[in-house]
Amino acid sequence: MAAHERTPKYMIGVAAELLGMHPQTLRMYESRGLVRPRRTPGGTRLYSDADLDRIRRVTQLATGLGLSLQGAEYVFELEDTVRALEQRMRDLEAALDRADGVMRRELEHVHRSYRREVVLWRDPGTGLVPTRTPPAC
């Protein structure tokens, strides 16, 4: 989400007008934790575009799907959990990719040093040098 979408800019009356609802409904949503508008030092609520989108989503869940406000809260908690798990998965995949790269470089280093340090063995009894070449890696 872009930073400008999170910039608080609408007072409660304007936000309520834009959403087509009563300001008291917005206060109730805030008290339930469904939306968290920023506050000015004087205590005035300021809503961002992201806050308005979230309130529209609450309305959609409540009217469109018939969920209660408690149901909408639960949906938001589940969505937050899914987002956190998706981020954790991306972080783990990135760490795995880094570890894989390190392991591949170390393995290549071992293979190069093995090839460099191969010494032909001479059988002390025959003095012959085996003609078999070491396997290429």
pLDDT tens per residue across span 33-62: 899 999 999 999 999 999 999 999 999 998
Q: How many domains does the chain have?
A: 2
- Local structure of 35: helix, strand or coil: coil
Low-confidence ranges of the chain (pLDDT < 70): 1, 114-123, 126-137
pLDDT at 3: 79
Distance of alpha carbon 26 from alpha carbon 44, whole angstroms = 13
Q: Are residues 42 and 75 in the same domain?
A: no
Distance CA 50, CA 1 (A): 8
**One-letter identity of residue 1:** M
Assess whether 106 and 57 both reside in one domain: no
Residue 136 pLDDT: 61
- Cα distance between residue 73 and residue 49, in whole Å: 19
Residue 41 has which token pair?
């030092």
- Which of 42, 67, 92 is where one domain is finished? 67
Residue at which a domain ends, from 41, 67, 93? 67
Residues 93 and 110 in one domain: yes
Question: What is the rounded CA–CA span in Å between residue 77 and residue 71?
Answer: 10
Q: 124 and 63: one domain? A: no
Q: Which two tokens stand for residue 113?
A: 């040093």
Q: What is the pLDDT of residue 128?
A: 58
Instruction: Determine the 3-state secondary structure of 118 from DSSP.
Output: coil
Closest CA to 43 of 57, 59, 30: 30
Tell me which residue range forms the domain holding 132: 68-137
Q: Which amino acid is at 19?
A: L
Cα of 3 vs its chain's centroid, Å:
17
- 94 in Cβ contact with 84 (< 8 Å): no
